[in-house]
Amino acid sequence: MPNPSPAIGPDAVLPPPPLGRRHAVGGRRLMLHRSGSGGPAVVFLPGGGMVGLDYLNIHDRTAELTTSVLYDRAGTGWSDRAELPRSAGEVADELHGLLRSADIPAPYILVGHSLGGSYARMFAQRFPAQVAGLLLLDPSHEDFLARVPEEVRQHTEQMRQQLEQLRIEGLPDPTPEQLRQVLDQLAPISGGWPESVRRPLVDYHLDAWRTSLDEAWNLDSEIADELRSGPGLPDVPLIVLTALAEEEAEARMWPAETRQKCSDAKAALHAELARSVRNGEHRTLADAGHVWLHEQRADAVLRAIDDLLRTAR
């Protein structure tokens, strides 16, 4: 794997997290923030390039129902650095150790978003007795590239080859225009964050933009193979939410027909995933995009969490 993110040990100087505290797990310190009380605890697994505090608003509302947990994986956010990408098994084992270290008892309802959905599934495969339910927010899927049009597969492979070369040579710093685009994308969302969290979180996303690329680099290879070769999901309540609203980048990249085929493929895979367990349910959100669906349709996410809590209890 070319040019991985550097590993920084537990003695590295990191700024304190805006919320939560770090717990020692496997020689690293991992940030965890908990609120609320009761069980099952709801644990949020961020999407690739995102961190626990990106889910603070939905976390606070969840904490009115039960114990709610946000955390940063090693290599992201306010946790110690690690070489990226990592295997899904390593990430699942790390979260298992963190929840034990923070004295948060099982079972858990795991809320996995995008790449975090793959990690949530791996946790459920490895520790089935400790999972009370699963909520997957527009999760990545190991078979997505096999279902999309050929032109999308070819373009994805070309982009990967170009990025691999850039990772070897060193990725260039973002231009002022690219940074402005990031700020524009964050503006509608970040306005709802508490001021004590908003500035550090925006600064993090401006500084750590490479993390998203590094963390998801093995999504279609190692992680896909791990999920395919692992056992099926435990027979626990499962809800899969599919975001159907188009992201601006997709609209610029592909014609409408291609975008529709990709959307249909994603929805079909999510429906199949929901049907893989007895108490699985597939729900679609026509007015939410992939990245910020937990903000754009917080009501739908909270309703799904409440439904899983009622069933688990």
- Is the CB of residue 29 less than 8 Å from the CB of residue 38? no
Q: What's the half-sphere exposure (Cβ side, CA atoms, 13 Å) at 24?
A: 3
Name the DSSP letter for residue 234: P
Q: Give the pTM.
A: 0.93
- Series of mean pLDDT values for 10-residue runs along the chain (313 residues): 38 81 96 98 97 97 98 97 96 98 98 98 98 98 95 90 79 80 83 90 89 92 96 96 86 84 96 96 96 96 98 92
Q: Give 62-92 as a DSSP string.
A: HTTTS-EEEE--TTSTTSPP--SS--HHHHH
Inside any domain, residue 146: yes
CATH of the domain at 206: 3.40.50.1820
> How far is residue 286's CA from residue 297's CA, in Å, rounded to a whole number?
10
- Report if residue 8 sits inside a domain: no
Number of domains in the chain: 1
**Domain annotation covers residue 73:** yes
Q: Is the peptide bond before 128 cis (omega within 30 degrees of 0)?
A: no
pLDDT at 12: 53
Asked, for residue 10, whether it belongs to a domain, the answer is no
Q: Beta strands 131-137 and 238-243: pairing type?
A: parallel
- 154 belongs to a structural domain: yes
11: in domain: no
Domain that holds residue 28: 21-312
Tell me which amino acid residue 257 is: E
Whether residue 14 lies inside any domain: the answer is no
Three-state DSSP state, 241: strand
Look at residue 6 and tell me if it is in a domain: no
